[in-house]
A and B are shown apart, each in its own frame.
Chain A
Amino acid sequence: MSTVTMKVNGQSVSHDVADNTLLVSFLRETLRLTGTHVGCDTSQCGACVVHVNGASIKSCTMLAAQADGAEVTTIEGIANGDSLHPMQQAFHENHGLQCGFCTPGMIMSAIELVEKNKNLSDHDIRAGLEGNICRCTGYHNIVKSVQDAAQKMGG
């Protein structure tokens, strides 16, 4: 067991967890932030993407202990009160989600993608989301959503 302390969605948290606890389990089971999902066991699907110190990370690939001292942002932490993050709004406006299971990871990946490069081509977006699998949308409206959000985020 180790004590891990981090800031999650702006709040300091500190818990004793088994050393082999994955960050995603810490978020889902210890903190009950269940918006971050687990869709595979090989770090392929991207449903578990969160931001650790501003970078998008597959939280199934990282131990909670490795995030000790970090600032973690999950899908629950990106809206400003009732005001949605532009990426969330864009997914809603452009029908960028269906069953919603991949959506949190997709949104978290897309935010980082846009923050790094606001002049994204269609190809850049598709290549940039290669690590996130969606089975419902055919990605068409996800790409539209990211384009829309990129504009609103100052692209």
Chain B
Amino acid sequence: MPEGISEGIGASVRRKEDRKFITGKGRYTDDINRAGQLHAFFVRSDVAHATITSVNIKQAAAVAGVAAVYTGQDIADDGVGGLICGWVVPNRDGSATHEPPHPILAKDKVRYVGDHVAMVVADTLETAMAAAELVEVTYDVLPAVVDLASAATGAEIHEGMANNTYFDWELGDEAATADALSNAARVVTATMRNNRLIPNAMEPRAAIAEYDPIADSYVLHSTTQNPHLLRLVICAFVLSIPESKMQIVAPDVGGGFGSKIYLYAEEACCTWASKKLQRPIKWTADRTQAFLSDAHGRDHINNVQMALDKDNKIIGLRVDTLANLGSYLSAFAVVTPTYLHGTLLSGCYAIPAIYTNVKGIATTTAPVDAYRGAGRPEATFLLERMMNIAAAEIGMDPAEFRRLNFIPKDAFPYQTAVALQYDIGDYEAPLDRALEMINYKGFEGRRSEAAKRGKYRGIGLSSYIEACGIAPSAVVGALGGRVGLYESAVVRVDPTGTVSVFTGTHSHGQGHVTTFAQIVAEKLGIPLGNIEVVHGDTNRIPFGMGTYGSRSLAVGGTAISKAVDKVIEKGKIIAAHMLEAADSDMEFKDGKFTVAGTDKEKSFGEIALSAYVPHNFPHDRLEPGLEETAFYDPLNFTYPSGTHIAEVEIDPTTGVVEVVDWACCDDFGNLINPMIVEGQVHGGIAQGIGQALLENAHYDENGQLLTASYMDYCMPRADNFPSLKVDYTVTACTHNDLGVKGCGEAGAIASPPALINAVVDALSSLGVTDMTMPASPEKVWQAIHNAQTKAAE
């Protein structure tokens, strides 16, 4: 571009969206009030599993200021539908996933602490909360089912669903894997526990629903990551409203990390009641409600067997997984531990035979669904822990054991044994760079120095691959997905040459407004300030699939790129007409349409004006205007990869693990805005370190969530981290125009095994070989204490 190349692709442009946030002018859902609004508060089950014997609303309904109290019976009487599952898989025996009903207010049974039993609507939130205390619910309490390992033999949670098992799915070649295991020179086995997490976006979920009786239409402001998907589900499956009568607006959204993908009961109830009461209805979760009822993440038990040949090459891998999916199937609960998990089990490694069986298990806990990484952190954790366990068993350096088993860079495209075909990659380059960044060779010196200070120092690697930007839609459908996974874009050029971009994806902090504008600035050669990016309002944007699975740039950004290409193509025809040249002679560069080999040119602005003031215009070939739409359905996932290395020091007197250094090198293909990408990496690592060191959702044996506040659930804080060293290598994605890969989840996928490998390495001299997540001071101290006691015996 002629000026402001610093604003185009590859530039660390400061974010266009920042100013409103740093001046307190952000507009989040809870910041919105409507005249005459009522406030909703939900009566939630305080027992994990019970038959509802009665719900008495009489006293609550009589409280001054209460507009209504609704129960599951009211919802059922009105024929309101339940929440649905967006992806199902076949069982091993060919039967279908069991999809139990999920009513938006429970009528007959409650299945987790926090399950919605009644909705109180009042003129103030305080009144609604006070009246909710007067709703009398009686229960016939049933046994809670909490422990994942034994849940299949627990009390029946859903009528007719045997063994509390939603599905029993497999992938890969079981016989070939069994052969590999029986012919192996060595079989390494381990059991992994992937701890349960609660996403904890800082903005709690919220909704404000309005009904317009004149137009018979609705507006729902929601903290959603995907307004159109929400509209489709709430209209077509829950409330039977024409989609054209429903506007969904996701204004500024304060983080999501997956937890804001799904339609939840509360926003459906508010929308339903807004018509009943003909008043706007507002609901905002407090943090405890968020802990209880946001979809949780992870929670797997994996039994892993890895077969090695005599040369230490991996020749087979079998993984048997129990996935805790909680009390109801959330929208993407099924795909997360199956196609987003089983397909990742080859990692960066050439493994000829892989087989996995996954059982999706019901428990009387909150629903579990996709949380940053969604299936891929679980797969990466077990695989990257196995790489270290195996390396330790054979006495090989874990970096060299990885290198030995990497898919070589000349082997792409590479077909894995678990369905995916990796288009491109080079796994040694980021490994080498990360080893250099952390000074791997110098580690033993640092370990000795730490030992003199009484600290155990350890180092841990994780070489990950991830698959993001799920696609193509036809494959998604064949695998049981009930959605398409394209993305849409409209690029509207104004007569004065400014540009509005309407994207079907959504931003809840990832900087799309800037990144997407950079793509357009680069391609059209216009200043960033002339470009507006619009998202989050179904009445303004084309039908889009929203943001999750690190898809927004690779899929949504490519859709924008394609729409811009169409604008340029149309512009060339207009310019050719005006310059009396052939279309084929037209070139577009640096914001100018030129006739090749001449000095005849028209600026982008002149063409824009001509498109809308079409006096001298090729009317015989084109319609006036300059606005183009693209729907982009990718050919494949993108496959980011890289190596993360953690270095920790452990104080044996307290068991506290201090993360003292972190180096990572990721391959995200081409970078549009390196500053924003780096921020995504930082945030992902923080959530991964949170999982490995601090966070854990804990239910007691009665199904009470003991970690339902920030007093009890250990969120990562600033003093839990060192400064993070981040670098990149590049192999450009082969199948999208921008050569980009997703970067949003990689940090959360790569980091937990790196951290745990470092903790185990630190304690390896004591004979410690494993550590479950989170590596809390208590557990670490106990491991040290046990090892020392054993040594003394």
Contacts and interface: CB of A to CB of B under 8 A. Distances in A.
B721 interface: yes
Interface residues of A, number: 53
A45 B202 CA distance: 8
Contact of B509 (A38, A47, A88, A98): A98
B683 A92 contact: no
Given A76-B23, A101-B203, A135 B257 contact: yes
Given A135-B200, A135-B687, A92 B22 contact: yes
B453 interface: no
Contact of B255 (A95, A122, A136): A136
Given A95-B676, A138-B721, A139-B721, A41 B288 contact: yes
A133 B18 contact: no
Contact of B24 (A38, A75, A125): A75
A56 interface: no
Contact of A137 (B14, B19, B203, B683): B683
The residue in A93, A95, A98 that gathers the most chain B C-beta atoms within 10 A of its C-beta is A98
B22 A95 contact: no
B24 A92 contact: no
B interface: dominant SS: loop
A130 B101 CA distance: 43
Contacts of B25: 35, 76
A51 to B, nearest CB: 13
Interface in A49-91: 74-76, 79, 84, 88, 91
A114 interface: no
Given A100-B509, A135-B201, A38 B30 contact: yes
A98 to B, nearest CB: 4
A95 B709 contact: no
B23 A140 contact: no
Nearest to B17: A100
A116 B25 CA distance: 27
Interface stretch (B87-95, B297-305, B710-718): B710-718
A1 interface: no
Contact of A42 (B682, B711, B719): B711
B253 interface: yes
A87 B791 CA distance: 54
Contacts of B200: 135
A98 B683 contact: yes
A139 B679 contact: no
A41 B683 contact: no
Contacts of B252: 99-100
Contact of A101 (B14, B202, B286, B510): B202
Given A35-B25, A76-B24, A136 B710 contact: no
A106 to B, nearest CB: 9
Contact of A103 (B22, B678, B718): B22
A5 interface: no
Nearest to B27: A34
Interface in B677-732: 678-679, 682-687, 709-711, 715-719, 721, 723-724
A75 B22 CA distance: 8
Given A41-B709, A93-B14, A140-B721, A134 B22 contact: no
A123 B778 CA distance: 24
Nearest to B291: A40
A141 to B, nearest CB: 6
Contact of B23 (A88, A101, A126): A88
B556 interface: no
Contact of A133 (B253, B684, B710, B723): B710
B287 interface: yes
A84 B716 CA distance: 29
A23 interface: no
B48 to A, nearest CB: 22
Given A41-B287, A103-B21, A138-B685, A47 B718 contact: no
A102 interface: yes
Contact of A143 (B15, B20, B718): B718
A96 to B, nearest CB: 9
B88 to A, nearest CB: 31
A97 B18 contact: yes
A55 to B, nearest CB: 19
A143 B28 CA distance: 25
Contacts of A126: 717-719, 721
B716 to A, nearest CB: 8
Contacts of A79: 23
Nearest to B199: A135
Interface in B31-82: 31, 33
Contact of B511 (A42, A45, A98, A132): A98
Given A76-B24, A92-B18, A137 B710 contact: no
Nearest to B715: A133
A4 interface: no
B508 interface: yes
Interface string B170-214: 000000000000000000000000000000111110000000000
A118 to B, nearest CB: 19
B675 interface: yes
Contacts of B711: 42, 44
Contacts of A76: 23-25
A133 to B, nearest CB: 5
A33 interface: yes
A65 B254 CA distance: 30
B495 interface: no
Given A98-B510, A137-B679, A36 B24 contact: yes
A103 B25 CA distance: 11
B682 A137 contact: yes
A107 interface: yes
Contact of B202 (A29, A36, A47, A138): A47
13 contacts: A28-B31, A35-B23, A39-B287, A40-B287, A41-B288, A44-B710, A92-B22, A97-B18, A99-B201, A99-B253, A134-B718, A139-B686, A140-B721
Given A135-B202, A135-B257, A138-B682, 12 more contacts: A29-B33, A33-B24, A75-B22, A84-B23, A99-B253, A99-B254, A103-B22, A127-B719, A135-B715, A137-B683, A139-B686, A141-B682
**Nearest 5 A/B pairs, CB to CB:** A35-B24, A100-B21, A99-B509, A101-B254, A138-B686
